[in-house]
Amino acid sequence: MGHLKAVVFDVDGTLADSERDGHRVAFNQAFADAGLPDRWDVDAYGGLLAVTGGQQRLRTYLASRGYDAEAATRLADDLHRAKTGLFREMVVDGRIPLRPGVRRLVDELCLAGVRLFVATTGSRQWVEPLLHHHFGAATFELTLTGSEVSRLKPDPAVYLEVLGRAVLQPPGVVAVEDSANGLAAAQAAGLSCLVVTNGYTAEDDLQSADLVVDGFGPAAKRIAGGCAPLPGGSVTASTLAALV
């Protein structure tokens, strides 16, 4: 077991239970407010999550609906701006919960003196208030979002930027993700990676992860990976330390 120096968390679907009853709802409200008939049900939205980044997701969807590239880009930009504002309201109102066990794990890591970071493709407009609402201003040493990098996951750009700004080398650093795209980004940056699946990512190909579980606990189940401990069925600092 190595020395755990830092943990870098993804946000959507990892720290927060934000996709199905958060982003999807805001996208649908943006469609409705624009007078469009489009609505994404739970299953349809799950399929669209293969495309990272809400703006890119909208462009891909609109292109599949017959919009030319220029029209798809223009409409996607307008819809995404509206959706981000709607989702931010949900965040500020406290309607986007943390996943069970996240608060406990983050508190434990803080007490152990582990440096904590966030690397997400989400926009700063809603990521910052979400983190502040649940954790306050001082929990994460650095938060980098899709607003600061031009290449989104599975590209490792956001992880490499975190490592560079924090003056960290990959050994001793663990990424916590929820999906195949996030896993690919973390591994391309040279990081060990814990994947905590959710309802949308349980069928992703995650076999290359250092550890895959179905929740932070209690009663988390090991899906794939090595023999890192899960005390009491929970992801703990000792779980993450076993991955470095």
What would the pLDDT profile of 95-132 be if each residue is shown by its tens digit?
Answer: 999 999 999 999 999 999 999 999 999 999 999 999 99
Residue range(s) occupied by CATH 3.40.50.1000 in the chain: 6-17+97-241
Average pLDDT of the residues in 170-183: 98
CA–CA separation, 176 and 212 (whole Å): 10
Beta carbons within 8 Å of 30's beta carbon, 6+ residues apart: 79, 80, 82, 83, 86
Give 32-49 pLDDT, tens digit per residue. Answer: 999 999 999 999 999 999
- Domain spanning 19-92, CATH architecture: Orthogonal Bundle (1.10)
Give, in words, the CATH class of 6-17+97-241: alpha beta
Average pLDDT of the residues in 218-237: 95
Give 55-96 pLDDT, tens digit per residue. Answer: 999 999 999 999 999 999 999 999 999 999 999 999 999 999
Specify whether the CB–CB gap between 195 and 211 falls below 8 A: yes
Local confidence band at 192 (pLDDT 50, 70, 90 cut-offs) = very high
Predicted pLDDT at 30: 98
Beta carbons within 8 Å of 19's beta carbon, 6+ residues apart: 12, 13, 45, 49, 198, 200
- Cis peptide leading into residue 97 (ω within 30°): no
> Cα torsion at 213, 118, 54, 98 (round to 10°)?
60
pTM above 0.75, yes or no: yes
Predicted pLDDT at 66: 96
Is the pLDDT at 28 greater than 80? The verdict is yes
Specify whether the CB–CB gap between 105 and 236 falls below 8 A: yes
Locate 131 and state its tokens. 């983190």
Specify whether the CB–CB gap between 84 and 92 falls below 8 A: no
Computed over every residue of the chain, the mean pLDDT equals 96
Residue range(s) occupied by CATH 1.10.150.240 in the chain: 19-92
226 or 218, which is more confident: 218
Give 133-162 pLDDT, tens digit per residue. Answer: 999 999 999 999 999 999 999 999 999 999
CA–CA separation, 193 and 176 (whole Å): 6
The gap from C-alpha 108 to its chain's centroid, in whole angstroms, comes to 20
Is the pLDDT at 1 greater than 60? The verdict is no
Residues of the chain with pLDDT > 70, as a percent, come to: 100
Predicted pLDDT at 226: 83
CA–CA separation, 28 and 39 (whole Å): 5
Q: Name the residues annotated as catalytic.
A: 10, 12
Q: Can you state the percent helix, strand and coil of the chain, rounding each to 5?
A: 45, 15, 45
